[in-house]
Amino acid sequence: MSRIASTFARLRAERRLGLIAYLTVGYPRLDSTPSLVEAATRAGADAIELGIPFSDPLADGRTIQAASQAALKSGVTVARALESAMAARSKTDVPLLFMTYLNPILAFGLDRFCRAAAEAGIDGLIVPDLPAAESDDLRRAADAWELDLVFFVAPTSSNAGIAAACRAATGFIYCIAVTGVTGARAKLDSGVLPLIATVRQQTSLPVVVGFGISRPEHLQTLEGHADGVIVASALLDAIAQAPDDPVGEVGRFLTALRRKPAQ
C-alpha cells in the first residue's frame, strides 16, 4: 500500500478529516522548505504538497504566484526542488506530493522526472494543466515509478469531465472548493458539497478539497463529507507575515486551523 493510501486508510479508521499543507519549494528562502515541512508535520499535517515554482502558474492566485516568483528569483529549479524534497523526506514520514505544471516536467523529461521524484521520496504528482484525457504518457511514467497521479474536478466540471478524472486518478481526487484561481476565501462555493457527492458516485478514491481553505469553519463544513483538505494560500500568507519566524508561524497557523470554531 502506498503512503497516500495508507494515510487515508488511517484517517478513515480514525474518522478524521486529513489536513494537507501546501508549501512553495524555496519560499521564503532557498533552504527553508525542509524545516517548514518538519514544522507542518509536527503541527498535525497529514501530508505535504510541495509546489515547484513556475513562471506561468495559470491555476494559482496572487499569493502562490508571488511565492513562486520569489522562489524563482532565489534560483529554484526542478533539480533544486528535487534536492529539497529529498531533504524534506529525511524529516518526515508523511506523504509528499509535487504540484507542478506540465512544461517543467516535459523540459526535465517525463521518465527522468518521475524517476527522480520517486528517488527523492515523492509519493504523488498534481499537475493542474494536464487534462485526464491527455495524461497517458505521464500516467505510464508515474506508474513505472509507483507515483500517484491526482486530477482536479470543480463545481463547473461536466459529468463527463468528472468521470474522466475519476478514471484516470490514483491517490485521491482533488475537488476545487471555489470557482477561480487559488486564494484564501471567506466562504466556500455552495457547489462543493454536491460536487463531493457526485464524485463519490464515480470513485472509491479519497476526496480532498482545496482552493480557498483558510478557516476552521471550512474544515467543520467539510467534516463528514470530504476525506481531507488542502490549505495553501492562507498558509503562505501567514508565512509572509512572519519573516523572522516562518517555521514557528507554520506551526501556529496549522494548530489554529485545526481548532473547532466557537459555537
Distance CA 32, CA 240 (A): 13
Query: Which residues are the active-site residues?
Result: 49, 60
At residue 219, the pLDDT reads 93
Residue-wise pLDDT for 92-150, tens only, equals: 999 999 999 999 999 999 999 999 999 999 999 999 999 999 999 999 999 999 999 99
If one compares 238 and 186, the residue with the highest pLDDT of the two is 238
Alpha carbons 251 and 239: distance in angstroms, whole number: 10
Whole-angstrom distance, CA of residue 174 vs CA of residue 152? 5
* Mean pLDDT, residues 201-219 taken together: 93
**Is the predicted pLDDT of residue 179 greater than 70, yes or no?**
no
User: Grid cell 508515474 — which residue?
Assistant: 142
Domain boundaries in the chain? 3-257
pTM: 0.94
Q: Per DSSP, which regions of the chain are E strands?
A: 18-24, 47-51, 96-99, 124-126, 148-153, 173-176, 207-210, 228-231
Return left, alpha or beta for 3; rule: phi > 0 is left, psi -120 to 50 is alpha, else beta.
alpha
Q: pLDDT category, 183, cuts 50, 70, 90?
A: very low
Instruction: Tell me which DSSP letter residue 76 carries.
Output: -
Residue of 237, 235, 234, 232 lying closest to 209 (CA atoms): 232
CATH topology assigned to domain 3-257: TIM Barrel (3.20.20)
Paired residues of 149 in beta bridges? 125
- Whether 214 shows a pLDDT value over 60: the answer reads yes
Q: Which residue has the higher pLDDT, 181 or 82?
A: 82
Q: Indicate the pairing of strand 148-153 with strand 124-126.
A: parallel
